[in-house]
Amino acid sequence: MTCDKTPQKITKIFDEISGYYDKMNNFISLGTHYFIKKIALKSLKIKQNSYILDICCGTGDFTQIIDKIEPRAKVIGLDNSVEMLKLAKQKNPQKVFMQGDCTELKFKDNEFDYVTVGFGLRNVENRYKAISEIYRTLKTGGKFIHLDFGKHGFGGKIFDIIVLFAINTVGRCCKADNYKYLIRSKNEYPEPQELIKEFETHGFKLVKRRDFLFGAVSYQILEK
């Protein structure tokens, strides 16, 4: 059975887990997720005063990291979940966040220098529409970074075991089904090689790819 990814269902999941999202991320990634996000965003080599859209921004990790790397950049964080956005704003009080669906961006064509997405596209029902919107709103020569789970091999299996352990121990307080969704969505998500083809079909050109944790996590940088 494939995951139900209707926006209502996904928003409900993230609204419900928002309170422990950051803590669970630290636990299930054994503290690595923030460093990987930092390495990925640093590799974008963000230019001064650039305009950045972070879709599926969640609790605002990307915004926080971008602010440390290039404080003169203007970042907008966008997410469907109001509860996740509240936490993003608490972590980044000076920054701009808005509620919205990444498959229907309310921005003009060619507006952003960079569009970023971390562990987000995997949750979007109509991924093709989201990729089209990313392409449309990026300037020509602008860059898109996609960070998410990668290959379904050894590293991915270890991650599944850690998540199941987390659900049964520290995660008892969480709704276990929401974290079981995480495992299912990860295992159904195309591997990076396949995703790169999807991005290229939309007109993107691959600039860089880097894998972490035996390929379990991967980022790709693409240019419009």
Ligand X SMILES: C[S@@+](CC[C@H](N)C(=O)[O-])C[C@H]1O[C@@H](n2cnc3c(N)ncnc32)[C@H](O)[C@@H]1O
218 binds ligand X (CB under 6 A): no
44 binds ligand X (CB under 6 A): no
How big is the CA angle at 124 (ends 105 and 168), to the nearest 5 degrees?
140
Kindly tell me which residue out of 29, 58, 87, 137 binds ligand X, with binding defined by CB under 6 A. Answer: 58
203 binds ligand X (CB under 6 A): no
Q: What is the footprint of ligand X within residues 108-167 (CB under 6 A)?
A: 118-120, 123-124
Q: What is the largest CA-CA distance in the chain?
A: 48
For ligand X, the nearest residue by Cβ is 58
Q: Which of 100, 78, 65, 79 is nearest to 13 (CA)?
A: 79
Burial class (CB in 10 A: 0-12, 13-18, 19+), 160: middle
Kindly tell me which residue out of 14, 112, 159, 179 binds ligand X, with binding defined by CB under 6 A. Answer: 14
Structure tokens at 158: 């270890």
81 binds ligand X (CB under 6 A): yes
Q: What are phi and psi of 71, to 5 degrees?
A: -65, -20
Supply the minimum distance, in Å, between the C-beta of residue 91 and ligand X.
11
Q: Which residues bind to ligand X, rule: CB under 6 A?
A: 7, 10-11, 14, 56-58, 61-62, 79-81, 84, 101-103, 118-120, 123-124
